[in-house]
Chain A
């Protein structure tokens, strides 16, 4: 009489055990990594797939936010620039001809958005000038001890016009002619602003390095 009772108990517990085994297997399974290139996301983004757009954003948002933070005077302004830039990217995907890299095209749109924001703010805001300072072109600095956040804080503390010219010339590699056309200023003004911005930054970096050495 006892034997059949035991068998019934085993049968009732069997599905529960299977379910727990399955859960354990799923939890311990390593994630399937799938390498997705930015170029391959282009078609999906162009087709309006929100998933593909999200993937592109996740791949480039952090890097492009760094670009925006160099052009902006604050982190909030940089986030607004990034948002507007990504919306422009998704709305103008049809204009990408495939001449250069897709990432480079996106970066250029983000930079253009930053320049546009500066031009819009320039109409309402006042221009602050930097005093004339001697820029020693051959002077070098050991920036290894400086953190990116420190340098970024220095760049953000530059007046708007100087900051944009310095970023466009020193980091993005624009010529003075291109800077003059895009910012609607003369080439001479671009050169002088770059020289002043450089001298100002060198001076500040020196102070920072001195401070760091003194603290050490």
Chain B
């Protein structure tokens, strides 16, 4: 701006303020110095370090933590108070001592040769027995046809060698090989024993029922039943009171009696 063109009024006014020096408050510099100190302390940490963890990362982490917290809260373990069978509950809490597992018996593979030998032996024994029976039957038929007294003696005499022959046949006809001893007991041990199932739960239930009945105390239901019995003289009562397994009062109505009563009234 050209100072020559400047308004005279403006020039006079500006000149008035050239030497204007108002009094400055004493504490103003202290305020400025304290502000500068605060800024220096604040800027000691670089801005890049402050923004190392951006806000979106923190918000995501906070969201994940919140979800985990909610899931845990709804699946937290709740203490259950059992009204019945405290003994059973105590048994559940007992630590389970693991017994060392016994090693399973080694199952020997089936020896087909040995089995064949065994079956052959049994077949021979059965054959011999059948043959002996057949001989006895033939001799009896011959005796019937010829005579009785002498033939009986002959049969007795001839029967002896047959029995002896049978006895001889009992001996093992074939000796087993030296390297393979016959172990029938071991083969039998490999077959698991079939045992009937033991039903214990029913017994426990019956036992528990028995104890509950025996432990049932004399309560309000007994008094009410007595009152009902005094009013209703019949064998079957219209209303019967009883205590529940949890101890609550239970009412049983016999509606058949009520119907009969109505019919009588009509």
Which residues of A are at the interface with B, using a C-beta cutoff of 8 A? 48, 50, 53-54, 57-58, 61-63, 65-66, 69-70, 75, 79, 82-83, 86-87, 90-91, 137-141, 143, 146, 148, 151-152, 169-171, 173-175, 198, 201-202
Contact = CB atoms under 8 A, between A and B. Distances in A.
A90 B33 CA distance: 10
B21 to A, nearest CB: 4
Interface stretch (B4-12, B81-89, B238-246): B4-12
Chain A facing B: main interface SS: helix
Max chain A CB contacts within 10 Å: which of B7, B16, B20, B36?
A: B20
Nearest to A62: B21
Given A90-B36, A140-B9, 16 more contacts: A57-B32, A61-B28, A62-B22, A79-B25, A82-B24, A90-B32, A137-B9, A141-B9, A143-B16, A151-B13, A151-B16, A169-B10, A171-B13, A171-B17, A174-B1, A198-B10
A48 B41 CA distance: 13
A198 B13 CA distance: 11
Interface residues on B, range: 20 to 34
B32 A175 contact: no
Contacts of A169: 10
Contacts of B20: 63, 66, 148, 152
B39 interface: yes
Nearest 9 CB-CB pairings of A with B: A170-B10, A66-B20, A62-B21, A61-B24, A171-B14, A148-B20, A173-B1, A86-B32, A65-B22
B28 A54 contact: no
B29 A57 contact: yes
Nearest to B7: A137
B23 interface: yes
Contacts of B31: 83
Nearest to A148: B20
Nearest to A147: B16
6 contacts: A61-B28, A62-B24, A66-B17, A83-B28, A90-B32, A201-B9
